[in-house]
Structure 1
Amino acid sequence: MNKARHGARTVLVIGGGAAGNAVTLLLRRAGVEVHLVEAKDDWNATAGSGITLQGNALRVLRELGVWDQVEASGYGFGSVGITAPDGTVLHVQDDIRSGGDDLPATVGMQRPQLQRILIEAVRASGASVRLGVTAEILDQDADGVSVRFSDGSEGRYDLVIAADGLGSATRAALGITVKPEPTGMAIWRIAAPRPAGVTRTDLAYGGPAYIAGYCPTSDSTLYAYVVEANRDRASIPPESYAEEMRRLASAYGGFWPEITEHVTDPALVNYTWFDRMLVEGSWHRGRVVLIGDAAHCCPPTLAQGAALSLEDAWVLAQGAALSLEDAWVLAQFLTGSDTWDDALLQAYYERRITRVRPVVEASVQIGQWQLDGIRDADVPGLMGRTMTMLRELP
């Protein structure tokens, strides 16, 4: 697949989430023609109430050219607090500015707002976007991939990037049999008004849940979450979601009573199991390559103990950060080479797997230690090693 100019190449991106949007922006900047298809009719109908963005994620967002909008829309802060269930603050620790001294350590923001910012940038980039459309790989050879779309049209592409999420239909169609597996934990989440005193992430250990936490997402909003052992979804009807989250959250003091007052509408409460997944060996088959949650899922497990507050916040944020990094690194490989071949895509995988695997494994291990009630596990050592690796450029 040798082409003299990047502009002569055409790439199909399947999936319009953070990873798909990010790689689209980076390839468009290099002059690559990009077609993006998203299965949802409403591109902005994203799940989740809030997102915590650490420095390594902010670094990629700055590279995408959207940092100013993110900074204006989110809430930047630089520390994490550990509290007792009654709200007593036990420890506060400063975060490391992992994206560099010119970026905040952490930014919390509403997840739909981040999606809106990325959507606007993708549209402004000149990428072709079709919503409510899925893609099926028909066949491929050494020069490209033939694709049929759900609207009846077909296309031919130099490369297909599958960014269609944890349940990726493209991954399955390629014959990759790895699937998400539950870790045994689940999380209740909601967006709510921000009490004036909430200026950082606080994490409460103990009580009826493994952890209860919140993160400011703007001058007026936050998202709150409670982590517990997963339960049979069929035993929790959606109309009871607010009641269930309120029951768990009512055991916590400090700012929690004020937050819990707003946990009333079950439609605004999100209940999700934590999953783990890591595709090993390669993330491509021919000219189709996986990125983001289609290739790996990092459960946002949280370590225990006041001294581990920094590590807690870091692991919680790594799912989004790793997906954005995938897009950044893949775009570097593609725009830096005149030959898009198996060796290039395998090199992309080799570079990413050394960063992704330790985070996924550490997150799963920490969660298992919590589930097993092990109090003397070497969490500091495990997270220290993982964080040392993550501070480096991807």
Structure 2
Amino acid sequence: MTDSRTLPQPPSGGTPTVLVIGGGASGNAVTVLLRRAGIAVDLIEARPDWNATTGSGITLQGNALRVLRELGVWEETAASGCAFGSLGVTAPDGTVLFVAEDIQTGGPDLPATLGMQRPRLQQILIDAVRASGARVRLGTTAESLDQDADGVSVRFSDGVEGRYDLVIAADGLNSATRAAIGITAKPEPTGMAIWRIAAPRPAGVTRADLSYGGPAYIAGYTPTSENTLYAFVVEACRDRAGVDPADYADEMRRLARGYGGVWPEITEHITDPAKVNYTWFDRLLVEGSWHRGRVVLIGDAAHCCPPTLAQGAAMSLEDALVLAELLTCGREWDDELLQAYYERRIPRVRRVVEASVQIGRWQLDCVRDADVAGLVGRTLTSLKELP
């Protein structure tokens, strides 16, 4: 691939063209925002189902909700999820130790936190992309990207070819595009792994609760609608080859049985291994720049962190908002603009990545006097500022 470091301004009077690779949160969001500005966007997604049925639940804090409001999907999101404003910390037996008020990172006019079913959020974003008029092709990948002084020529997996002014790589943690443009950074495991499942919501669950200690490092749950929640258990990561997917339910149930409160009711529903998700915690932060020539990374392709602060989706959505703002502000689409995107995002993203990893490291190292609450408070308070 030719590494062109200069992007000429889109042709005067012409409509700039953008290819978005990946239809997750960041790819969908940037597509909607660019289409709103009249930019022609093609979106390709490798999965034929557009990830519309994948995942258990997701926790969205106020700064994520702020972006969803900008996308025009806040009312539908609010109606589909469960908003709450506090976090409970319990002993493994279910005894509530204390309840802390959540920080409203999206401002006083949005909930501090909203839990929802991940497939429902994806469907809301899919509908917004469809309504935007973007051209969408599912089950499709980019096989080659060739840059020159005027654009990017793309050959797709179905043999079709396209030509674009800019390519936005939103193809996730293991981004093939990131590697294709010569960025060598790769995700690194942090030493923890998480078991997740969606389940019916027990009566009386009105907020997220976390329990530290017991059979695992963390056991928690978040309400995701009027009658659903997602539950998770965090332990030290195991060799993936040694974890048989057929045993996922048995393994999660074994860990969950060590917790009291509403956990026995949740555990009754951990029966189908196909509904249990097992994932390692990874860390990724691409340094220096998030672009090479006319190809730029957003979301998990550029950064990823453990969900200990529940900020992964928020950081990805903010990427989309900031990049779209810069691409539609009338400036020349050049190296300086794409570097400005990186410079604007990197301090905020680095703060979140480092804090998220540090919280997990303290647990792995059994640091008893770690200032977890202080680190969480400082980090989330800083996110009240606009990205």
TM-score category (smaller protein):
over 0.9
- Per-residue CA deviations over 1:121-162 (Å, capped at 9, x if unaligned) read 100110000000001343112321110001101111010000
CA gap 1:81/1:135 in 2 versus in 1, 3 angstroms? same
Instruction: Kindly indicate whether residue 66 of structure 2 is the aligned counterpart of residue 73 of structure 1.
Output: no
Instruction: Kindly indicate whether residue 354 of structure 2 is the aligned counterpart of residue 361 of structure 1.
Output: yes
CA contact (8 A) 2:21 2:44 kept: yes
Within the candidate set 144, 154, 161, 1:147 is matched to 154
CA contact (8 A) 1:79 1:92 kept: yes
Q: AA paired with 1:364?
A: V
Alignment of 1:363-382 (within 5 A): 363-382=356-375
Counterpart in 2 of 1:334? 327
- After TM superposition, the structure 1 stretch with the greater mean CA deviation from structure 2, 384-393 or 2-11, is 2-11
Equivalents in 2 of 1:235, 1:6: separation in Å?
58
Counterpart in 2 of 1:387? 380
Instruction: Kindly indicate whether residue 171 of structure 2 is the aligned counterpart of residue 164 of structure 1.
Output: yes
CA gap 1:20/1:127 in 2 versus in 1, 3 angstroms? same
CA gap 1:205/1:378 in 2 versus in 1, 3 angstroms? closer
> 1:378: how far off?
3.5
Instruction: Kindly indicate whether residue 137 of structure 2 is the aligned counterpart of residue 135 of structure 1.
Output: no
> 1:4: how far off?
6.5
Equivalents in 1 of 2:178, 2:220: separation in Å?
34
CA contact (8 A) 2:105 2:380 kept: no
Alignment of 1:231-242 (within 5 A): 231-242=238-249
Equivalents in 2 of 1:209, 1:7: separation in Å?
57
Within the candidate set 28, 34, 51, 1:21 is matched to 28
Instruction: Kindly indicate whether residue 182 of structure 2 is the aligned counterpart of residue 182 of structure 1.
Output: no
> 1:7: how far off?
6.5
Instruction: Kindly indicate whether residue 198 of structure 2 is the aligned counterpart of residue 191 of structure 1.
Output: yes
CA contact (8 A) 1:215 1:224 kept: yes
SS at match of 1:337: coil
Equivalents in 2 of 1:384, 1:44: separation in Å?
33
Within the candidate set 275, 290, 302, 1:268 is matched to 275
Q: Which consecutive unaligned segments of at least 5 residues does structure 1 have?
A: 302-314
Counterpart in 1 of 2:338? 345
Alignment of 1:208-227 (within 5 A): 208-227=215-234
SS at match of 2:197: strand
Equivalents in 2 of 1:6, 1:39: separation in Å?
33
Equivalents in 2 of 1:107, 1:381: separation in Å?
22
Q: AA paired with 2:42?
A: H
Q: AA paired with 2:239?
A: D
TM-score normalised by length of structure 1:
0.94
Equivalents in 1 of 2:369, 2:339: separation in Å?
39
Within the candidate set 317, 323, 340, 2:316 is matched to 323
Runs of 4+ in 1 over 6 A off after TM superposition: 4-7
CA gap 1:85/1:31 in 2 versus in 1, 3 angstroms? same
> 1:177: how far off?
0.8
CA contact (8 A) 2:21 2:27 kept: yes
- After TM superposition, the structure 1 stretch with the greater mean CA deviation from structure 2, 226-235 or 274-283, is 226-235
Counterpart in 2 of 1:305? none
Q: AA paired with 1:172?
A: A
Equivalents in 1 of 2:206, 2:374: separation in Å?
29
- Per-residue CA deviations over 1:277-335 (Å, capped at 9, x if unaligned) read 0100000000000000000001113xxxxxxxxxxxxx1x2000000000000000000
- Per-residue CA deviations over 1:187-221 (Å, capped at 9, x if unaligned) read 00000000121110011111110010000000110
CA contact (8 A) 2:104 2:384 kept: no
Equivalents in 2 of 1:191, 1:114: separation in Å?
14
> 1:96: how far off?
2.0
Counterpart in 2 of 1:200? 207
SS at match of 1:8: coil
CA contact (8 A) 2:84 2:206 kept: yes
Q: Which consecutive unaligned segments of at least 5 residues does structure 2 have?
A: 1-7
> 1:46: how far off?
5.2
Alignment of 1:303-314 (within 5 A): none
Counterpart in 1 of 2:5? none
CA gap 1:203/1:5 in 2 versus in 1, 3 angstroms? farther
Q: AA paired with 2:224?
A: T
Identity, % of aligned pairs?
Answer: 79
